[in-house]
């Protein structure tokens, strides 16, 4: 349809149009060929009922996880009157919704590319309704066949923008979503939390037209990553349960219906098998808030509603959202490369390395702290917001009745900007994650100290405003703006201090004061982390993927002069280890059998992280580097190409390493497919179809252009 509209356009210059269209299609098809199709789902929500909190407040919120270097802005949208017939349109999928006569004022933490989806995600409206939307989830294949998701249905990208400005209560929000899903369908599965002065509603949009929502109990807590968690509910309890009519029927029709303890169990009926990354975050979150929780890592499923004898504070929740398996047998998945372990292949489950709550893909995190004595006009409480990953960024509190946000929150660039809260936070993250030995826990401890002070101050403000019956929008806006300005100055000073420290330590790469968008992407922690909670990215080896080490033959380097192999690691030298290398040359590969022995002549295989540098064939292009086991390629390593015709990679063990070279094939004389991937890359069927379409379009346009010229 898009092509039809474009081709029928007669109001633009034909020559310019053809060039633009060909260019866009080429880019589009290149993307289709070179990138895998997968839904990126990686958020973790939580709720803590007020009976379980240290101060009697209700806590709920989420980490918004997708990918590093994804800007988020914090804004206030004023109330407005809408013209008759005006529609809200989701440019991401074409969903349309008729706007009411009036839209209320609301706050949001939004994306900066609305054509790819608005993703307002989280905020307050002027009536004290708050929302966190969404935690993505997906029904199993059998369910989807019976009640498939609707292409132009309601999606996360528009959820908050539809709901928050148009409801006066949390229940109205749930009912509005239910109405839309019933009539227009859902484009995807989602978990939504909506709250007001009466409490929190937890809602699962299960399939194309099925949903269940419950009024959340005050004496429970929950952690929910990207899978459904609802168990058995009382569908006859209309006061506390809102559900679609056919939620059980769809499960039965799909032969996916399951009962536990004699009752229909929603999540077990609708879920696919639990992904490892969902399991790791659910388990870690439950145990972080209650170490005594009776859950095991390998449980078949985790109940939504958890109990605790421990009182939970805002600080506890902040720690949970930063959790990286501290005090457990597991280590964060993004730590693998820094530990010299490489990156696991897609679908591989590692017994030690798991996907953490505090992962590199967190773009923002928020915590609603709702109190009975704070007026609805102020939101009924505060939202603690960390723009950027809270691992190395601070939380700041905001009441619901602010009328503006600090300017640094509103910079909407898609690359680094020194005046942007998100980009400065992202740059700090990249430096801290990459240079862990240099900074340790100092960055996070700095922000924890700030947050401890802010929590204490906020509690006093809450008491003051509760006693006074509230505070004006002008007052809370001015104070929050001043606080944000002060903290942002601290962030900028910290950024400069870290840059200088890295420069002085001569730890590559040194960072400029204004890195480009790719600067952050070069971070080993960020760039090699998973962009999905449910899948692991396949590792690749190229000179552009990894920071370029600068090996040098110093007192920290062992050298085998016969082969030119160098091992840079001071620990090896201090231990008086001896290096021996046997090189085997093949047509399209070189193998290096690297052996280390101690002074007693005993072989040493496991060592601390070591930078290995080996020569490569003149004029050859390195395709991959593997450790060999039993004659087979066992472990793949990222590598960099150095200027002296060598490559470097890091390892913690020694055996035989194989350097594979790309096989150079002569291009066919009649090859006109100049945009095909290079040797070794796969062309998907969809990509080939796209190429054919592009050829047809170019042919049609060429004929039209010729006709017009004639």
Point out the residues that are catalytic: 43
Which string of DSSP letters, residue by residue, matches 236-299? T-TTTEEE-TTHHHHHHHTT---EETTEE-HHHHH--SPPHHHHHHHHHHHHHH-TT----TT-
Element (H, E) at 319: helix 314-321
Output the CA torsion 331→332→336→338 (10° steps).
-100
Q: Which residues of 139-161 are buried (b: 16+ CB within 10 A; e: fewer)?
A: bbebbbebbebbeebbbbbbbbb
Quick one: which of 329, 267, 260 has its CA closest to 302? Answer: 267
Q: How far apart are CA 332 and CA 354, in angstroms?
A: 5
Q: How far apart are CA 225 and CA 121, in angstroms?
A: 16
Q: How far apart are CA 422 and CA 428, in angstroms?
A: 10
Q: How far apart are CA 592 and CA 580, in angstroms?
A: 10
Quick one: which of 266, 466, 510 has its CA closest to 373? Answer: 466
Radius of gyration in angstroms for the set of CA atoms belonging to the chain, rounded to a whole number: 28
Distances (CA, A) of 327 to 76, 280, 286, 335, 354: 40, 14, 14, 16, 14
Neighbours of 584 (CB within 10 A): 11
DSSP conformational letter for 399 = E
Q: Are 494 and 446 in contact (CB under 8 A)?
A: yes
DSSP bridge pairs for 625: 637, 659
**Sign (positive or negative) of CA dihedral 165, 385, 404, 114:** negative
Q: How far apart are CA 57 and CA 221, in angstroms?
A: 13
Structure tokens at 637: 């390593």
Q: How far apart are CA 498 and CA 490, in angstroms?
A: 12
Quick one: which of 554, 574, 443 has its CA closest to 506? Answer: 554
Tokens 């730890």, located at residue: 507
Quick one: which of 402, 395, 405 has its CA closest to 369? Answer: 395
- End-to-end Cα separation, the chain, in angstroms: 28
Helix/strand/coil (H/E/C) assignment for every residue in 101-135 = CEECCEEEEEECCHHHCCCCCEEEECCCCEEEEEE
Q: How far apart are CA 456 and CA 337, in angstroms?
A: 39
Q: How far apart are CA 360 and CA 208, in angstroms?
A: 31
- Beta-strand (E) ranges in 371-495? 381-387, 396-399
Structure tokens at 262: 């004699």
Q: How far apart are CA 469 and CA 525, in angstroms?
A: 47
Quick one: which of 82, 104, 80 has its CA closest to 163? Answer: 104
With H, G, I as helix, E, B as strand and everything else as coil, classify residue 328.
coil
């Amino acid at each position: 349809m898009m092509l039809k509209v474009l081709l029928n356009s007669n109001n633009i210059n034909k020559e310019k149009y053809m060039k633009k269209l060909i260019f866009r299609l080429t880019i589009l098809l290149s993307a289709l060929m070179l990138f895998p199709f997968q839904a990126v789902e990686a958020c973790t929500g939580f709720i803590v009922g007020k009976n379980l909190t240290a101060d009697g407040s209700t806590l709920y919120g989420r980490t918004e996880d997708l990918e590093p270097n994804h800007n988020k802005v914090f804004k206030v949208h004023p109330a407005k009157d809408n013209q008759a017939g005006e529609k809200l349109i989701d440019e991401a999928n074409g969903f349309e919704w008729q706007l009411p006569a009036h839209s209320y004022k609301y706050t949001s933490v939004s994306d900066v590319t609305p054509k790819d989806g608005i993703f307002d995600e989280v905020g307050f409206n002027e009536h004290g309704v708050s929302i966190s939307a969404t935690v993505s989830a997906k029904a199993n294949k059998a369910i989807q066949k019976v009640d498939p998701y609707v292409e132009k249905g309601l999606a996360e990208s528009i959820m908050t923008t539809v709901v928050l400005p148009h409801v006066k209560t949390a229940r109205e929000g749930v009912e509005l979503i239910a109405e839309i899903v019933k009539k227009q369908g859902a484009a995807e599965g989602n978990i939504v939390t909506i709250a007001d002065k009466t409490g929190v509603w937890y809602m699962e949009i299960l399939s194309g037209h099925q949903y269940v929502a419950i009024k959340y109990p005050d004496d429970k807590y929950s952690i929910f990553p990207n899978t459904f968690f609802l168990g058995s509910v009382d569908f006859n309890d209309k006061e506390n349960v809102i559900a679609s009519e056919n939620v059980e029927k769809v499960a039965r029709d799909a032969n996916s219906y399951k009962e536990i303890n004699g009752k229909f169990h929603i999540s077990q009926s609708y879920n696919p098998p639990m992904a490892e990354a969902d399991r790791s975050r659910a388990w870690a979150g439950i145990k972080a808030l209650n170490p005594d929780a009776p859950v095991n890592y390998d449980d078949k499923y985790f109940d939504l509603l958890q109990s605790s004898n421990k009182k939970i504070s805002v600080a506890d929740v902040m720690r949970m959202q930063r959790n990286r398996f501290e005090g457990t047998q597991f280590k964060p998945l993004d730590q693998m490369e820094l530990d010299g372990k490489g990156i696991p292949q897609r679908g591989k489950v590692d017994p030690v390395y798991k996907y953490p709550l505090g992962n590199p893909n967190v773009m923002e995190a928020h915590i609603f702290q709702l109190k009975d004595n704070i007026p609805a006009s102020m939101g009924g409480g505060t939202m603690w917001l960390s723009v950027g990953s809270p691992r190395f960024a601070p939380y700041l509190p905001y009441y619901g009745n602010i009328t503006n946000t600090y300017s640094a929150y509103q910079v909407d660039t898609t690359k680094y900007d020194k005046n942007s809260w998100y980009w400065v936070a992202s740059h700090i993250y990249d430096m801290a994650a990459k240079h862990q030995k240099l900074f340790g826990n100092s960055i996070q401890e700095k922000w924890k100290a700030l947050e401890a002070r802010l929590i204490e101050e906020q509690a006093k403000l809450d008491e003051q405003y509760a006693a006074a019956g509230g505070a004006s929008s002008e007052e809370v806006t001015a104070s929050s703006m001043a606080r944000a300005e002060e903290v942002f100055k601290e962030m900028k000073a910290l950024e400069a201090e870290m840059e200088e420290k890295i420069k002085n330590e001569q730890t590559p790469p040194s960072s400029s004061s204004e890195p480009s968008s790719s600067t952050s992407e070069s971070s080993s922690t960020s760039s090699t982390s998973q962009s999905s909670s449910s899948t692991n990215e396949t590792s690749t080896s190229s000179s552009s993927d990894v920071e370029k080490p600068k090996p040098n033959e110093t007192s920290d380097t062992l050298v085998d002069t016969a082969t030119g192999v160098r091992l840079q690691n001071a620990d090896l030298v201090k231990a008086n280890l001896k290096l021996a290398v046997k090189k085997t040359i093949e047509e399209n590969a070189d193998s290096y059998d690297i052996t280390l022995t101690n002074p007693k002549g005993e072989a040493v295989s496991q060592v601390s992280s070591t930078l290995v540098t080996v020569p490569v064939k003149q004029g050859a292009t390195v395709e991959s580097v593997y450790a060999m086991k039993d004659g087979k390629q066992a472990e793949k390593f990222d590598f960099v190409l150095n200027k002296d015709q060598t490559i470097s990679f890091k390892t913690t063990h020694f055996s035989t390493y194989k350097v594979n070279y790309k096989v150079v094939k002569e291009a066919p004389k009649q090859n006109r497919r100049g945009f095909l991937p290079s040797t070794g890359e796969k062309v998907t069927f969809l990509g080939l179809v796209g190429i054919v379409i592009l050829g047809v379009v170019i042919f049609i346009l060429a004929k039209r252009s010729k006709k017009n010229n004639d």
